[in-house]
Structure 1
């Protein structure tokens, strides 16, 4: 099936690329860009059909994210993060889904999954307080998925959860000022003694077990693949997309460049340049091919009603973190050989270098953690981790 959303998005890419520097300066995605992505259907790709979504093949979603990221890293990042949250909400009780999408299917959801919120049981739900950082696209969302710690009577940790909180119940603090992904507007969320009803809270353990009450009403295979694979691929895909876009920019920029030193001549005619682009292209291709292969396999198993084997879940995490690592390796090769002119602030190659590395530090791209889990599984040792 063709990726119709990607076809619509391609018409937007030149304008998004032209606005990339202004997006950085503003430290957030322009409202008109969010509106254009909404009209193109980006944010409904992983949303249930019951609430106006298209329940698209997840490979198509990540393909679209990579294309956007190639034009503007910040735009691709926010599209991926805000675009993956409808998938997550679809696992919640239908009552929670109706509260978000019942009146407006285009309602957006941001997140900050770090379990820093304190939850105390009260009648009908929980009293919640906390401060969460790094909520990308928060200014465009009306709800937030926030990580919490359920504490007992003596202050001991009882469980880890993710809760759904409306914008009226949290404060947005404008603190985002970073070296990369500057346009994502990943500001801070603060909650002070707010009531969150039980139907808007889910245990993280349930997600790792591939279950959620929303599966009773959202019966498609999209909602039966692992949270860890879907979410971490949503974090890796913008990084790979940024580098893939930079590769094309690099070719266009360096093709006719004449060296002013080292004997002069066209850069593209040197063996050094030719080997560099070959290595970078292979790293990018390997990242995309492996991640897409795994998402297809997970989706295919779910569609066939098969139990998803742990070895596939572990492989998906292995290839996701190594996909990010390969993309960053390619980025280094391109940046190192792009020459002094690419150091100018706002140059697309310089911006891609910053954006790719900023995305690479996300906890979802923790290479050692994911590879350790894969190694345990390969040796037949028990694997107990919510992020697999």
Structure 2
């Protein structure tokens, strides 16, 4: 069944590419594209089977995202970050899962995980307030997942939680005017003194241990993977997809391009052009191979009933941040070698260049922090697994 989803997604790629300019103009992914993705079953890939989901292998999900991003970076980005949320919802208490999917299994959620909100302990739950930025795809969603620090009566921080909030309890503020990923509608979310029941929260400390109350109902090995392995992959995968789309367009452009400075010779006959695409394609392939192989290795541990080694979790993050760098370097190489025509509005290359650089500044792509943690562990220093 999941192969049918991948086939359906691939059938949509020409349409997504044609709508890329429209997405930038609207500053959100067109509603028609979201509906078409929904019809393929894409948003159900990581959703529990008891709510009509597929509980698919994460690599299947990443493959679909990669392909979408190869046609339109903004659509790929939104599909990735919105499409991964069913995985986390499956970890919440059953009461929260039922609230999201009990009446409509097509319900979607956006997110903003940075703990910019403040929650205080109240009877039966928390009072949440705050402002969150960069909630990609929020206009297409009726719930949001928000990060917040929990304070006790003495004003001390006692937890870092994800809060699941329904649409009637938050406001979307339209602020998204960007040069890259401009079609993602990554607007601000504002919550003012809203009560969030305990069942609609999830401790990041618990998630860091690959645990969640929802595992009682959703027993698939899929839901035993580390949060940061799954979620950071959703940030790198679209960038790899953009690089693949940029590579395809660059090759096609060079095959058709003549260079006046070289007496009208085809650009594709330039030996240095050949070297550039060899290097770029290797970087893209390496980024994809490491990302997918690492997730498969984690899944293999889970399927054997083994705890995932911390070293492997850190390796996932190491290769994820470097994977983003590899894809970005490939795009830069291809863009610089494509000539002036690549600058024209409507070309995939110039859009991929802008979108990939925008994606690079996401917190999940901070290379120094992830690489430092990997190095510290290799040298035998203590590393907190909660964030990795």
Question: Which of the five TM-score ranges fits, normalised by the shorter chain?
Answer: over 0.9
TM-score by length of 1: 0.98
Please give the alpha-carbon distance, in whole angstroms, between the structure 1 residues aligned to 2:220 and 2:303.
Answer: 8
What are the Cα deviations for residues 277-319 of structure 1, in whole angstroms up to 9, with x where unaligned? Answer: 0000000000000001001111121122111111111111111
* Worse-matched range after superposition: 173-182 or 145-154: 145-154
Q: Tell me the CA shift for residue 123 of structure 1.
A: 1.2
Q: Tell me the CA shift for residue 8 of structure 1.
A: 0.9
* Worse-matched range after superposition: 284-293 or 246-255: 246-255
Is residue 2:135 matched to residue 1:135? yes
2:202 matched residue in structure 1: 202
Q: Tell me the CA shift for residue 262 of structure 1.
A: 4.6
TM-score by length of 2: 0.98
Is residue 2:38 matched to residue 1:38? yes
2:231 matched residue in structure 1: 231
Is residue 2:372 matched to residue 1:372? yes
* SS at 1:11 equivalent: helix
* SS at 2:258 equivalent: coil
Is residue 2:141 matched to residue 1:114? no
What are the Cα deviations for residues 66-98 of structure 1, in whole angstroms up to 9, with x where unaligned? Answer: 000000000010000011000011011011000
1:302 matched residue in structure 2: 302
2:219 matched residue in structure 1: 219
Please give the alpha-carbon distance, in whole angstroms, between the structure 1 residues aligned to 2:191 and 2:256.
Answer: 54
Q: Is the 8 A contact 2:2 2:56 kept in 1?
A: no
1:53 matched residue in structure 2: 53
Please give the alpha-carbon distance, in whole angstroms, between the structure 1 residues aligned to 2:206 and 2:94.
Answer: 16
Please give the alpha-carbon distance, in whole angstroms, between the structure 2 residues aligned to 1:154 and 1:260.
Answer: 73
Q: Tell me the CA shift for residue 353 of structure 1.
A: 0.3
Please give the alpha-carbon distance, in whole angstroms, between the structure 2 residues aligned to 1:134 and 1:386.
Answer: 23
2:86 matched residue in structure 1: 86
Q: Tell me the CA shift for residue 158 of structure 1.
A: 2.0
Please give the alpha-carbon distance, in whole angstroms, between the structure 1 residues aligned to 2:279 and 2:211.
Answer: 41
Please give the alpha-carbon distance, in whole angstroms, between the structure 1 residues aligned to 2:145 and 2:385.
Answer: 20
Q: Tell me the CA shift for residue 346 of structure 1.
A: 3.0
Q: Is the 8 A contact 2:147 2:161 kept in 1?
A: yes
What are the Cα deviations for residues 186-241 of structure 1, in whole angstroms up to 9, with x where unaligned? Answer: 01110011110011111111111110001111101000010000000011100110
Please give the alpha-carbon distance, in whole angstroms, between the structure 2 residues aligned to 1:246 and 1:235.
Answer: 18
Ranges in structure 1 where 5+ consecutive residues have no aligned partner: none
Q: Tell me the CA shift for residue 2 of structure 1.
A: 6.5
1:162 matched residue in structure 2: 162
2:349 matched residue in structure 1: 349
Please give the alpha-carbon distance, in whole angstroms, between the structure 2 residues aligned to 1:234 and 1:299.
Answer: 16
Please give the alpha-carbon distance, in whole angstroms, between the structure 1 residues aligned to 2:2 and 2:206.
Answer: 33
Q: Tell me the CA shift for residue 384 of structure 1.
A: 1.0
Q: Is the 8 A contact 1:220 1:303 kept in 2?
A: no
Please give the alpha-carbon distance, in whole angstroms, between the structure 2 residues aligned to 1:386 and 1:259.
Answer: 54
What are the Cα deviations for residues 169-193 of structure 1, in whole angstroms up to 9, with x where unaligned? Answer: 0001111011100000001110011
* SS at 1:3 equivalent: helix
Moved over 3 A (4+): none
* SS at 1:23 equivalent: helix
The alignment's C-alpha RMSD in Å is: 1.1
Tell me how many residue pairs correspond in the alignment.
388
* SS at 2:84 equivalent: helix
Ranges in structure 2 where 5+ consecutive residues have no aligned partner: none
Please give the alpha-carbon distance, in whole angstroms, between the structure 2 residues aligned to 1:326 and 1:43.
Answer: 28
What are the Cα deviations for residues 240-271 of structure 1, in whole angstroms up to 9, with x where unaligned? Answer: 10111110111111112001225441110001
2:177 matched residue in structure 1: 177
1:186 matched residue in structure 2: 186
Q: Is the 8 A contact 2:121 2:153 kept in 1?
A: no
Q: Tell me the CA shift for residue 385 of structure 1.
A: 4.8
* SS at 1:47 equivalent: coil
Please give the alpha-carbon distance, in whole angstroms, between the structure 1 residues aligned to 2:312 and 2:151.
Answer: 34
1:358 matched residue in structure 2: 358
Please give the alpha-carbon distance, in whole angstroms, between the structure 1 residues aligned to 2:373 and 2:26.
Answer: 40
Please give the alpha-carbon distance, in whole angstroms, between the structure 2 residues aligned to 1:178 and 1:260.
Answer: 36
1:92-107 alignment, distance < 5 Å: 92-107=92-107
